Amino acid sequence: MVRRRPVYFPDRDFLRRPLKRSLAARGPWFRIHPSAKSAIYFSRRSGGRFTPENSPFGVLYAGVNITTALFEVFGDEMFENDHRIRAFRWMNFSVSKVTIPRVRICNLANQQVRASLNVELGTLMGQEFDATQAWALAIMVHPSEVYGIVYRSRFTQKNCLALFDRGETASLLEAELIGPLSVLPEANAFLDRYSCMVI
């Protein structure tokens, strides 16, 4: 009999407990986004790992490098379709470099922080989005009022950022467009390195 791995949710007294905070790295962080949109936009759509249903804040996602950002957006599609990526998606996305202020965040990539919250990487990197979104919501409404979450990519083990739109957040960000994926050498190198086809 296979023992199922436990999935951990925030404790009932989470909001009454102190939350370990740290200052976010300014970056640059790398953001994959539709070419028709600015890199600086926050979505409340609940499909994201740390975007709960009826989220009180929009969330902006970014990766510590271009490879990690590409995997976060296209990784599941690659692995579910024998390393194929739909052309209409690839051709209509761009990558930008985003710099953020040194705001307070909850660093879930840090082992001590995870231990203080009674959660482990398996929960945060797994496919159980009901758990990760529960953590996101609990952190969003915690009295410490952090501006986001740093977490590990399940594809590259590198850091990613889920930044919350607390009203003034967008005005504090700086973005520089690097270019469309279709003409970007780093994006083409990603396709070659991981034997991906755009079809």
Q: Express each pLDDT in 89-117 by its tens digit.
A: 999 999 999 999 899 999 999 999 999 99
Residue 92: how many CB atoms within 10 A of its CB? 14
Mean pLDDT over 170-192 rounds to 96
| Cα gap 9→177, rounded to integer Å | 37
CB atoms within 10 A of CB 175: 20
pLDDT band, residue 136 (cuts 50/70/90): very high
Q: Where are the beta strands (DSSP E) in 64-172?
A: 84-85, 93-99, 104-107, 148-152, 159-164
Q: What is the tens place of the pLDDT at every residue in 151-161?
A: 999 999 999 99
E-strand stretches of the chain: 22-23, 29-34, 59-63, 84-85, 93-99, 104-107, 148-152, 159-164, 174-180, 197-198
* pLDDT, mean of residues 139-147: 97
Angle (nearest 5°) at CA 72 between 67 and 94? 65
